[in-house]
Amino acid sequence: MRLLLFKELESINSRPKPFQFYTAEELWTDEHTSKQMLQYHLNESVDVSSRNLKFIDRSVEWITSHFNVNDKTDIADFGCGPGLYTIRFAEKGAKVTGIDFSENSIQYAKEAALKHNLKIDYIHQNYLSFETSKRFDLITMIMCDFCALSPQQRKTLLNRFHKILKPNGSILLDVYTLKSFAQREEQSGYEINSLNRFWSAETYYCFQNMFKYEDEKIFLDKYAIIDKERTRVVYNWLQYFSKESLSSELEINGFEVDKFYSDVAGSVFDPNNGEMAVTAIKTI
């Protein structure tokens, strides 16, 4: 018994290989957790799952101006959440498609579109598997979602972007920078009912390990959640980028970098910022 407990604790606190496990479904398809994520999206006081509304409004103004968005513009928002950007794009006249893994978020977005009398095509799906015959002028992926994907997943996604963009179509995405990576430190610990019962409505213990991979510029938040019924582990991977590493990844997959910014509201690029945004154009 003692040996079994020791081995389980060893497993809980073990360091996996970079991107060894992918557990997005635990966040986006679990009934309880996906509802918690939706609440974070809609919480205007924190920039956890979505930007605050003041920033979103400023961001949409810049995006629609920069890309000359009008009633002839087709936009796809990957990881659209509850539609905070898609609603605003549609209000500017664009033809909008939103794709998200969370059924709760998509349902909220559909209801919001109906309330605003807007026609928006919402797709409940893991965007890594998204296929469509539509072609888009602009693809957005906001809130550093790109960083949560492995190199192979990012390649798959960029290839999909390339396929569904019109000739000379553009992408806009944001990522975490090496400045932000340098500020993160490894930690470990556990709590009872952590994050205000984020993982379950029932009592649980949560072991959290934060692992830093210096060579790969990756950080992992690993959560082991133990309740009466089961033990489950959630891996939240984040890749951090330099301008050079992001440019290289885009160019290899058929995109030419247009310009770097500090955020998706078009702020002038600051090398000391923890995030950066990039616009890139389909070239092949």
pLDDT per residue as tens digits for the range 45-80: 555 545 788 999 999 999 999 999 999 999 999 999
pLDDT at residue 49, as a whole number: 46
pLDDT at residue 21, as a whole number: 95
Partnered with residue 275 across adjacent β-strands are 176
Region of 131 (left: φ > 0; alpha: ψ -120 to 50; beta: rest) is: beta
Residue 133 is given by DSSP the state: S
Give CA torsion, residues 260, 176, 129, 139, to 10 deg.
-30
How many percent of the chain have pLDDT more than 70? 97
Which H/E stretch holds residue 217?
none
How far, in Å, CA of 85 to CA of 96, rounded? 10
At residue 226, the 3 state secondary structure works out as strand
At residue 261, the 3 state secondary structure works out as strand
b/e per residue 232-254 (b: at least 16 CB within 10 A): bbbbbbbbbbbeeebbebbeebb
Residue 247 scores a pLDDT above 90? yes
Q: How confident is the model at residue 4 (pLDDT cuts 50, 70, 90)?
A: confident
Residue 83 scores a pLDDT above 90? yes
At residue 202, the 3 state secondary structure works out as coil
Mean local confidence (pLDDT), 220-245: 95
- The structure tokens 């549609």 sit at 90
pLDDT at residue 120, as a whole number: 98
pLDDT at residue 62, as a whole number: 98
Alpha-carbon distance values, 70 to 74, 85, 91, 265 (Å):
9, 15, 10, 18
Q: Which amino acid is at 67?
A: F
Partnered with residue 239 across adjacent β-strands are 218
Domains of the chain: 34-179+239-282 (3.40.50.150)
How far, in Å, CA of 110 to CA of 182, rounded? 40
pLDDT per residue as tens digits for the range 94-152: 999 999 999 999 999 999 999 999 999 999 999 999 999 999 999 999 999 999 999 99
pLDDT at residue 52, as a whole number: 85
Give me the count of residues in the chain.
Answer: 284
Q: Which amino acid is at 89?
A: F
pLDDT at residue 194, as a whole number: 87
CB of 108 within 8 A of CB of 39?
A: no
